[in-house]
Structure formats: C-alpha cells, structure tokens
C-alpha cells in the first residue's frame, strides 16, 4: 500500500486511563522492557537494567541528546487573567535553534497562546526573582500566522541568553495526556541523564530510562554509544485528523549531527545499529535521505538538503546506505561543515524500509498517532500483538511508562 493511502483509523487500540503512567518510577532504570524478537515474533519481558544482555557485542546505540527547555511562560495581566505562551520554535530568521537560544535581550519565537482572545495589543510583563537573579521579561504579539503566533520576547538583563531566560521564567511542558500540573521533580525526571543541547518542548522519552548504571553495563559489553540531536517540537503530539495520511501534514523538526557521528555510523553499518527513541530513528534515517539528495543533485546550500514529508518514498531507492552517507560526508567537507544542521519532516510508515537502523528502543505510544505507523514500519502487523501483550501484562504507557526493544522484522 502507498503510505499516502494509509488510514489512521487502522492504527488504534483501546488505552485505559489507568494504563497511562502519570509519574515515573523512583529509579528510572527499573522500568519494564518488552523485547520483540525479529526471527519468529516472540515477545518476552525484561528490565532496562538488563538491556545490555539483549544487545549484541560491538553494536552501536544512537541517542538523541536534546534537552527539554522550560517552554511554558505564564503572564498575569492587570485584570488577573493569565496568558500562557508556549514557545514552539524560533522564527525562520534564525538558521537553527542553537543560534536562537543564544540570543541576548530579544528573540522572535513561534508560539501557541492560551487565552489569546484576552490578549489584545498590550505588552505583557513578567518580573523574575530567583536568588541573585532579577530581570523583567516582556512579550509583544507581532502577528497571527496559520496555526501559531509570532511573539517578540525581550528582557533587560544583557548577560542572559534566551535559554537562561526560559530556565528562570518558564515551566517544563509536560505532555497534555498526563493531565496534571508540573511538579518540582519533573525538572529532573522529564530529562534524560545525557541531555545536552537546549531546544526541545518534549523529551525523547525512550531515553528517560537510561542511567549511569546502564551506560556502564553497555561499556562492559563493548557496546558503543553515539549521539545525534533532534529538537522535539510540539507537533509530536499533533493528532491525526485527516482520514488518510496524504491529507496529514507532518511536523518539521531541527536536526544537528556532527560529521564524526556520521562517520561512526558508516563504520558500524556491518554491526547492529539500535536507535534509542523515535526521534533518533527519524534523525539517522533522515541522514540517509539527505545523503541521497547530496548524491543526486547539485546542492548549493544546506536548506536544499531538508527532508520533506514524502521524500523518502519519491527519491531514488537504489543507493546503498554506505554510499549515501559517504556522499553526505563529502558534501560537508567540500562545504566546510563540521556539523549538519537541517530540518526533517520525514514520515516513517508501513511501506518504508529502514535504511540504517536494525532495532528501536521506544516507549508505548498513543492510539491514532504517526508513531504507531513508525512502529508498524519496523514490526509489521505484529504491532497489535506487541501492544496487546503490554496491556495484558501490566506495562505502563506513554512518556513516563515502560519501554520496548523492537528488532526489525525481516519480513
């Protein structure tokens, strides 16, 4: 079936409210791990602490080291009304998220606004006092665009970057399906232990289970690790309202990958490559298609390498992963790029064949979501078998829930 013809109604299941984990376990690495074997479709229950025993020696694990930012800003008007500004992503005037996060005194951001009708033309003001930090943050609504507002945010401390402003002034944006207020502990638990680069409004949740103990066990078994960066946007929670996928617009996200990481992936193509989280999978599979673009076209700038929603079904399909990635590395060297900073809108759905990854570590996802399409692309119709097993065996679902190791179904 052409992925454009897929009906999201075929990718649903009943998720009882009590199966949704509202809080994490006290120790992040004690979560259950469902292991799906690709040879015969067997399923078993393990534990994250034992995950190294489920992965062959000399494999490569790829993690997404993005860091969740405190993207929810609450402003109280003189009338007492509260306006919530949810910072989605920087305005297109910035080349990448890192550049935007480092801005001083003023920045322009694409935002969702809660209580938008109560916010007319006035400038909102918020005073921040945190130990020795004191500054004023203002918000000015610039214009309404399609499904977001462009907002100018400015502050009167010239030493602070926008990332630091969010840290002091904002709140962690928990997923809406948790249906609870942010608690103090979420600042730590809704962040991976290896988070490094500010930019996400949602955590790469498969990585929440990893601890220093697990990383030591991987090292002891000679399992290598490497990192990519994909800044998770709010679009990851975007419901599919269209009847078929052709009518659904995938969200676009920033990726940032070091040239040495791409070389490392090339050197490990003959080994097992396991990605931690759907965002890591979207990133390394996008690298392949970016390499295909670099192979086929005369690319003048990195924007021409961005991956659109249907590129991976319409670009040439016959280029070997090694060749595509080597062509990407060569393009980066020729253009003096030590890092690749691009955007991807890739949709991985049934009919897509993984080019680089052999397996995926991931949590259990919402019904009727594009992430279920991604799971089905890896394990086929067995996704129902996997989810039924998890429901029947007391697994905890969604962001703070348990996880799975899914090997690519050879069929």
User: Which of 312, 222, 228 shows the shortest CA–CA distance to 272?
Assistant: 222
Q: Quote the pLDDT of residue 222.
A: 97
**pLDDT value, residue 146:** 82
**Mean pLDDT, residues 258-284 taken together:** 98
Domain boundaries, the chain: 3-67+191-407, 71-171
Contacts of 291 (CB under 8 A, 6+ apart): 319, 323, 324, 325, 326, 327, 328
The phi and psi torsions of 285 (rounded to 5 degrees) equal -70, -35
* Structure token pair of residue 365: 């996802």
- Token readout for 394 is 């007391």
Please give the helix or strand (H or E) that residue 155 lies within, else none. strand 148-155
Among 175, 208, 167, 266, CA closest to 64: 208
Residue 84 in contact with residue 117, Cβ under 8 Å?
no
For the chain, give the mean pLDDT. 93
Element (H, E) at 220: helix 212-220
Q: Is 258 helix (H, G, I), strand (E, B) or coil?
A: strand
- Quickly state the pLDDT bin for 100 (edges 50, 70, 90): very high
How confident is the model at residue 292, as a pLDDT? 95
User: Distance between CA atoms of 7 and 4, rounded to whole angstroms?
Assistant: 9
In this prediction, residue 47 has a pLDDT band, given cuts at 50, 70 and 90, of very high
Please say whether the beta carbons of 235 and 243 come within 8 A: no
Residue 128 has pLDDT above 90, yes or no: yes
pLDDT score recorded for residue 410: 64
Compute the C-alpha angle 237/290/65, nearest 5°: 50
Give the DSSP H or E segment for 376: helix 370-379
For 84, other C-beta atoms within 10 Å of its C-beta total 15
Q: What is the mean pLDDT of residues 250-274?
A: 95
Flag whether pLDDT at 400 surpasses 90.
yes
* Mean pLDDT confidence for 241-253: 87
The mean per-residue pLDDT over the stretch 346-369 comes to 95
Confidence of residue 238 (pLDDT cuts 50, 70, 90): low
pLDDT one-digit tens code per residue, 308-353: 999 999 999 999 999 999 999 999 999 999 999 999 999 999 999 9
301 vs 281: CA distance, rounded Å: 24
Instruction: Please name the residue that has the structure tokens 């759905």.
Output: 349
Average pLDDT over residues 284-296: 94
The pLDDT of residue 96 is 87
Summarised one tens digit per residue, pLDDT across range 165-189 is: 999 999 999 988 898 999 999 999 9
Please give the pLDDT value at position 213.
Answer: 98
- Does pLDDT of 162 surpass 70? yes
Strands of 23-105, DSSP E: 32-36, 43-47, 60-64, 66-68, 72-76, 82-90
Query: What pLDDT does 251 receive?
Result: 81
Question: Over the Cα atoms of the chain, what is R_g?
Answer: 21
How many other CB atoms sit within 10 Å of the CB of residue 16? 8
Lowest mean pLDDT among 22-26, 39-43, 305-309: 39-43
- Nearest-10 Cα torsion for 320, 326, 329, 335: -90
Place of tokens 């220093």: 212
Higher pLDDT, 226 or 95: 226
**121: confidence class by pLDDT, cuts 50, 70, 90:** confident
Do 23 and 400 contact (CB within 8 A), yes or no? Answer: yes
- In what helix (H) or strand (E) does residue 387 lie, and over which residues does it extend? helix 382-392
**Residue given tokens 């994909």 in the structure block:** 230
Is CATH 3.40.1780.10 what the domain over 3-67+191-407 is classified as, yes or no? yes
């Amino acid at each position: 079936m052409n992925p454009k013809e897929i009906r999201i109604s075929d990718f649903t299941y009943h998720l009882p409210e009590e199966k949704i984990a509202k809080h994490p376990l006290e120790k992040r690495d004690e979560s259950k791990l469902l292991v799906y074997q690709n040879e015969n479709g067997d399923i078993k229950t393990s534990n994250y602490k034992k995950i190294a025993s489920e992965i062959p020696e000399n494999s490569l694990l790829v993690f997404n080291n993005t860091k969740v930012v405190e993207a929810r800003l609450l402003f109280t008007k003189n009338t007492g009304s509260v306006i919530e500004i949810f910072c989605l992503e920087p305005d297109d005037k910035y080349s990448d998220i890192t550049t935007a996060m480092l801005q001083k005194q003023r920045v322009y951001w694409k935002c969702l606004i809660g209580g938008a009708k109560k916010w007319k033309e006035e400038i909102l003001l918020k005073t921040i006092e945190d130990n020795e930090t004191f500054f004023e943050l203002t918000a000015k609504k610039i214009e309404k665009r399609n499904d977001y507002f462009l907002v100018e945010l400015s502050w009167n401390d010239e030493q602070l970057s926008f990332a630091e402003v969010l840290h002091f002034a904002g709140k962690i944006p928990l997923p809406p399906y948790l249906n609870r207020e942010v608690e103090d502990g979420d600042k730590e638990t809704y962040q991976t232990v290896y988070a490094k680069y500010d930019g996400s409004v949602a955590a790469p949740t498969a990585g929440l289970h990893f601890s220093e103990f697990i990383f030591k066990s991987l090292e002891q078994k000679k399992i290598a690790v490497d990192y990519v960066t994909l800044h998770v946007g709010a679009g990851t929670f975007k419901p599919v309202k269209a009847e078929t996928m052709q009518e659904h617009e995938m969200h676009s996200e920033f990726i940032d990958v070091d040239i040495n990481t791409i070389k490392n992936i090339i050197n490990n193509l003959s080994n097992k490559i396991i990605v931690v989280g759907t965002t890591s999978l979207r990133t390394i599979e996008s690298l392949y298609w970016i390499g295909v673009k670099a192979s086929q076209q005369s690319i003048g700038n990195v924007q021409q390498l961005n991956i659109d929603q249907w590129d991976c079904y319409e670009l040439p399909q016959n280029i070997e992963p090694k060749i595509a990635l080597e062509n990407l590395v060569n393009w980066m060297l020729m253009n003096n790029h030590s890092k690749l900073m691009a955007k991807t809108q890739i949709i991985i759905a049934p009919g897509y064949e993984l080019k680089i990854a052999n397996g995926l570590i991931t949590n259990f996802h919402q019904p009727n979501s594009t992430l279920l399409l991604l799971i089905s692309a890896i394990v086929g119709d067995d996704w129902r078998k996997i989810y039924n097993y998890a429901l029947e065996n007391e697994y905890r679902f969604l962001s703070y829930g348990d996880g799975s190791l899914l090997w690519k179904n050879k069929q």
